């Protein structure tokens, strides 16, 4: 049977102060309550000696604040890469003295409703509503009236109602284009992957690429369309090479596409980056595993999670869309044109 919890009154008696003085000291209010340094030190020493832990349940009933945040996602928590957003959110919550609860719905509306209801029953202070892929969402009705920040998603509202934190995909595309231009590429540049309008990341990456190349007076030679997976990319690039396409640089819409592209180039006897440079997006672990290592624009998962919690628990400001920069991880897959 665990020993009985030490009370605030016992701490006060050990320190030789009133209960209210001990409470103010442990709440960090010794300065505004004009409590002497000697009394503060006695309270802190007594709390340590008695191994005092505040009764958070009682405090939350009194203050209506539980110092908890709930993160509700579709599949973010279980994804090996996007899980870094959880780490960022967790670190930011801990830095602000909050606990982070995590719930995953797998896209099931019934599960989502039950999950949010359970969190509300536990009186969490605020919510992060997160998505694995950047997309437009409808914020659940259950969250109306509660502090909410959207992580890796946004609404279609003309004027944002909640803060949204998303990757800056357009600037990432512009940066990718500039990287190839700076390496000397001005012709034979092909996009690999279908830039479907309904895919937010693809649409914004391509817009950034076109803008970046246009600013340098460069036009892409064409698009090798394929789904964003290794096998379709391998088949599409292989077919393009067989038709006589002679690329000098290939911009892959993600690292999985780049993997298939590498295989097709190798099978055709083309070296990377000696004959064909390859640029990609996402900077998954795969980028560093490939040989030569792949230059890729990183998704800032950790920073996204951190920023979401900062906005949720920071000073109140007008809701807005916050775009987090995506750094380029320079590796060995880009060289001068052959």
For residue 273, whether the previous peptide bond is cis, meaning omega lies within 30 degrees of 0, is yes
pLDDT at 254: 96
**Which comes out higher in pLDDT, residue 129 or 79?**
129
**What is the CB neighbour count within 10 angstroms for residue 38?**
8
Give the pLDDT band (50/70/90) at residue 30. low
Q: What percent of the chain has pLDDT over 70?
A: 92
* Closest alpha carbon to 333 in 286, 269, 277: 277
CA-angle at 83, arms to 80 and 86, nearest 5°: 165
DSSP letters of 282-338?
E--HHHHHSSSPPEEEEP-HHHHHHHHHHHHHS------EEEEP--EE--SS-----
* Three-state SS sequence of 76-104: CCCCCCCHHHHHHHHHHHHHCCCEEEEEE
pLDDT at 60: 46
H-helix or E-strand containing 172?
helix 169-182
* Three-state SS sequence of 255-293: HHHHHHHHHHHHHCCCCCCCCCEEEEEECCHHHHHCCCC
- Pairing of β 68-73 and β 126-136: parallel
Give the pLDDT band (50/70/90) at residue 63. very low
Partners of 120 in the β-ladder: none
pLDDT at 81: 67
Find tokens 């437009």 and name the residue: 136
User: Where exactly are the structural domains of the chain?
Assistant: 8-54, 68-167+301-324, 169-299
pLDDT tens readout for residues 272-329: 999 999 999 999 999 999 999 999 999 999 999 999 999 999 887 899 999 999 999 9
Find tokens 């959110």 and name the residue: 89
CATH number (1.10.10.10, 1.10.260.40, 3.30.470.10, 1.20.1050.10) of 8-54 reads 1.10.260.40
| Fold of the domain built from segment(s) 68-167+301-324 | Rossmann fold (3.40.50)
Domains 8-54 and 68-167+301-324 belong to one CATH topology:
no
For residue 292, whether the previous peptide bond is cis, meaning omega lies within 30 degrees of 0, is yes
Partners of 72 in the β-ladder: 103, 129
For domain 169-299, give the CATH number.
3.40.50.2300
pLDDT at 150: 97
Q: Supply 90's token pair.
A: 């967790």
| Cα four-point dihedral sign 75, 328, 200, 141 | positive
């Amino acid at each position: 049977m665990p020993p009985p919890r030490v009370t605030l009154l016992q701490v006060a008696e050990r320190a030789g102060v009133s209960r209210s003085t001990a409470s103010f000291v442990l709440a960090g209010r010794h300065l505004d309550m004009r409590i002497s340094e000697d009394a503060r030190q006695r309270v802190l020493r007594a709390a340590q000696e008695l191994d005092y832990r505040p009764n958070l349940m009682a405090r939350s009933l009194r203050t209506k604040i539980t110092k908890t945040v709930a993160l509700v996602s579709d599949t973010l928590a279980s994804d090996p890469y996007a899980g870094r957003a959880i780490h960022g959110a967790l670190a930011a919550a801990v830095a602000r003295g909050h606990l982070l609860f995590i719930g995953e719905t797998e896209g099931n509306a019934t599960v989502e409703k039950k999950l949010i209801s359970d969190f509300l029953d536990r009186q969490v202070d605020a919510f992060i509503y997160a998505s694995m892929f950047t997309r437009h969402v409808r914020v659940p009705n259950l969250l109306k009236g509660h502090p909410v920040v959207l992580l890796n998603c946004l609404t279609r509202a003309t004027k944002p109602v909640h803060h949204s934190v998303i990757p800056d995909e357009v600037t990432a595309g512009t940066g990718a284009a500039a990287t190839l231009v700076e390496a000397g590429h001005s012709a034979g540049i092909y996009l690999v992957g279908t830039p479907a309008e309904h895919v937010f990341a693809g649409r914004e990456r391509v817009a950034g690429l076109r803008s970046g190349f246009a600013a340098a007076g460069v036009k892409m030679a064409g698009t090798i369309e394929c789904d964003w997976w290794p096998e379709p990319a391998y088949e599409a690039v292989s077919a393009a090479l067989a038709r006589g396409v002679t690329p000098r640089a290939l911009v892959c819409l993600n690292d999985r596409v780049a993997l298939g592209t590498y295989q097709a180039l190798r099978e055709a006897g083309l070296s990377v980056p000696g004959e064909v440079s390859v640029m990609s997006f996402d900077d998954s672990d795969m980028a560093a595993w490939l040989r030569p290592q792949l230059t890729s624009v990183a998704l800032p998962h950790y920073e996204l999670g951190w920023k979401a919690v900062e906005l949720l628990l920071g000073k109140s400001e007008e809701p807005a869309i916050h775009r987090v920069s995506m750094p380029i991880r320079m590796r060995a897959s880009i060289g001068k044109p052959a």
